[in-house]
Chains A and B, each alone.
Chain A
Amino acid sequence: MTTVPISLDERFRAAAAAEGLLDVAYDLVEDTPVGTLLVGVTDHGVCRLSYDPEPERELEELARLHGPRVLRSARPVDRLRRELDEYFAGRRRRFDVEPDVRVVPEFNRRVLEELSHVDYGETTTYGALAARSGSPHAARAVGTVMNRNPVPIVLPCHRVIGADGKLVGYGGGLDRKIFLLRLEGSIL
């Protein structure tokens, strides 16, 4: 059976994005210091960053949340790819791409909005973030929100630690949290 030439395949994927026909454009970002990432982008910003992606499950979920027109397309992801490169090289302290958290439930969105103000090189605690989100007793719920953060790194849930200074946990595994905090100079 004829196979589609790679150049034609790429041209179609680029045209689909350029015509604004996609609910989500995604691509893999390979060989970062924290492994291969799957990144999803909408017209409103980055809606997904996944560690250890299982593409089939990811696609189903992106389609369920954002609409069925989910297609791998490199170009829409290029800007974030570049910003991630700079971040891992220590040359970028905040991301210019916007997170797209429109499909996130209201409470989570409020917490993620507060999280976005925790700067590079700083840390905060689950309780403090809960208080700033207007729910001072919701430290545990804030932990769950961090665990379900659809765009880790860009929304820096790795900067949230326990009140006793313990790192507690991380959706992408504690090793990655330690790596990111070391990269930012927050821990030794």
Chain B
Amino acid sequence: MAVAIPPFETFYERHRDEVMAFLGRRLGRERAEDAFQETFLRALRAYHRLEHGEHLRSWVLTIASRIVLDDFRRRRPPGMMNAAEMPELATRDERPAFEELAPLTDGLPHTERAAVVLRYGYGLSYDEIGAALGSTGSAARQAASAGVRRLRKEHA
């Protein structure tokens, strides 16, 4: 039987400290506060559409990671990446492929994970991913394929 979806309060109490710690490490205390609120508001907007209560920890940490990425992108100097090419996160949130990826990619090294998620979850081009990660398109392609190879091995 599928794990039931807990009341949001229960979910929130269970994960808020870990999300706060994660965001604090990535963004620093001050920016982490806005990101914290945005993470749980996004989770709340999607919460009634969840079909089961599995992997909720991975799910909320993935949302937090996306917000960290957004924050980094906004702070990147203009010209590094064209804003018009940014994925529309609100609509990408609907993509089921992304939710599947979240728990799967948990164990990957950071760069590989980001590359896999941005490529197969968001559908970004390698050039875009390279820009988002502060490297190049070909480095992004290598990271994504290394990540996929690792996943294949782990889930074989």
Contacts and interface: CB of A to CB of B under 8 A. Distances in A.
B93 to A, nearest CB: 14
Contacts of B8: 22, 63, 68-71
Interface string B58-92: 00000000000000000000000000000000000
Given A2-B21, A4-B16, A12 B40 contact: yes
Given A3-B17, A8-B36, A63-B7, A69 B24 contact: no
Contact of B41 (A3, A4, A21, A70): A21
A62 to B, nearest CB: 7
A11 interface: yes
B47 A69 contact: yes
Contacts of B17: 1-4
A33 B7 CA distance: 29
B41 to A, nearest CB: 6
A5 B21 CA distance: 12
Contact of A4 (B6, B36, B45): B36
A19 B45 CA distance: 10
A104 to B, nearest CB: 20
A15 B16 CA distance: 16
Contacts of B12: 71
A34 B40 CA distance: 35
Nearest to A60: B7
A8 B33 contact: yes
Interface string B4-37: 0111111010001110110010000000010011
A1 B16 contact: no
A68 B37 contact: no
B34 to A, nearest CB: 9
Size class of A's contact patch?
A: 20 to 34
Contacts of A2: 17, 20-21, 24
Contacts of A3: 17, 20
B37 A11 contact: yes
A59 B9 contact: yes
A81 B40 CA distance: 26
Given A3-B20, A12-B36, A12-B37, A62 B45 contact: no
Interface in A56-73: 56, 59-60, 62-63, 67-72
Contacts of A59: 7, 9-10
A106 to B, nearest CB: 25
B44 A69 contact: yes
A71 B9 contact: yes
B48 A23 contact: yes
Contacts of A9: 16
A61 to B, nearest CB: 9
Given A16-B40, A59-B7, A71-B8, A4 B48 contact: no
B44 to A, nearest CB: 5
Interface in A38-88: 56, 59-60, 62-63, 67-72
Interface of B: 5-10, 12, 16-18, 20-21, 24, 33, 36-37, 40-41, 44-45, 47-48, 50
Q: 10 closest pairs, A vs B, by CB?
A: A2-B21, A63-B7, A59-B7, A70-B7, A21-B44, A2-B20, A4-B20, A12-B37, A68-B5, A4-B16
